[in-house]
Amino acid sequence: MLSLKNKTAVITGGGSGIGQAIAELFAEQQATVYIVDLNIENAQSIVDTIKKNNGNAFALQCDVSNQQQVKDVLTSIDTIDILVNSAGIAHIGNAVNTTENDFDRIYNVNIKGIYNCLHVAIPIFQQQKAGIILNVASIAAIVGLNDRFAYSMSKGAVQAMTLSVAKDFLHENIRCNSISPARVHTPFVDGFIAKNYPGKEQEMFEKLSKSQPIGRMGTTREIATLALYLCSDEASFITGNDYLIDGGFVKLNG
């Protein structure tokens, strides 16, 4: 079960964090994986690791906010069966102290970046008469998180785009879902804590972990496993849904 043999998967943001875990797991399940990332060194490093483990993977550099780059990259791939939109950036700030440049940067990567990938990939899926799309959203789209104004806005848009695409292309054998993680332990989290709480790293790590009812952060592998199911043939009856993977954060807090 959950084999991706003979499938080709494109994973944006696959050079680190959740995208990396998805790329590695998909390759383990025999997919041919294309890691599309702005940081080509990171992407190539993951590809090298996958190949050492007898997987099949390629690294492609791309700024997802640039539609021409996205078009050039995606159309260079012979066949695409699965598109995972994992590329994204974070921001800390409220509606007052978020600058226009900050807001535009979040929009360009987290919203326009996904739109660009959908805009190019969906016609490919239409021609093939099949395709699977998974967008990485966040619990920030549906709960109030302090100082996450622009980020929450962008993830709300991801959920809305997911539903719209699922509806519009329902009868063309194109499925589209999203996943909404809570806090996941990634290098970004470690960097955020080190930058904002020097000398209190362990204390803040424990505090952030315990903010989730389950008492810890999620792992990238746990997120990747849900992604694997939703992109597999076993999930062929699922489209137009967002899946919480949050340690009980949304339903059990308070």
Phi, psi of 136 (to 5 degrees): -95, 110
Max Cα distance, the chain (Å): 55
Across all residues in the chain, what is the average pLDDT? Answer: 96
The Cα–Cα gap between 78 and 20 comes to 22
Percent of the residues in the chain that have a pLDDT greater than 70, as a whole number: 100
Summarize pLDDT for 181-220 with one digit per residue, the tens. 999 999 888 988 898 889 999 999 999 999 899 999 999 9
The Cα–Cα gap between 147 and 18 comes to 22
pLDDT at 85 over 80: yes
**65 CB burial (10 A radius; 0-12, 13-18, 19+):** buried
Q: Where are the beta strands (DSSP E) in 22-147?
A: 32-37, 56-61, 82-85, 131-136
Of 134, 164, 138, nearest to 151 by C-alpha is 138
Summarize pLDDT for 142-158 with one digit per residue, the tens. 998 999 999 999 999 99
* pLDDT at res. 254: 63
Q: Which domains does the chain have, with CATH numbers?
A: 8-182+218-247 (3.40.50.720), 186-217 (no CATH)
Find tokens 């496993």 and name the residue. 225
The Cα–Cα gap between 47 and 227 comes to 19
Q: Supply the residues annotated as catalytic.
A: 151
Mean local confidence (pLDDT), 92-115: 97
Q: Who's near 219: CB < 8 A, 6+ residues apart? A: 21, 184, 185
Summarize pLDDT for 20-39 with one digit per residue, the tens. 999 999 999 999 999 999 99
Q: How many CB atoms lie within 10 A of CB 45?
A: 16
Mean local confidence (pLDDT), 120-148: 96
* pLDDT at res. 192: 81
Output the pTM of the full model: 0.96
Mean local confidence (pLDDT), 95-112: 98
What distances in angstroms separate CA 64 from CA 82, 98, 221, 231, one per listed residue? 17, 22, 24, 21
Which helix (H) or strand (E) is 101 found in, with range?
helix 100-106
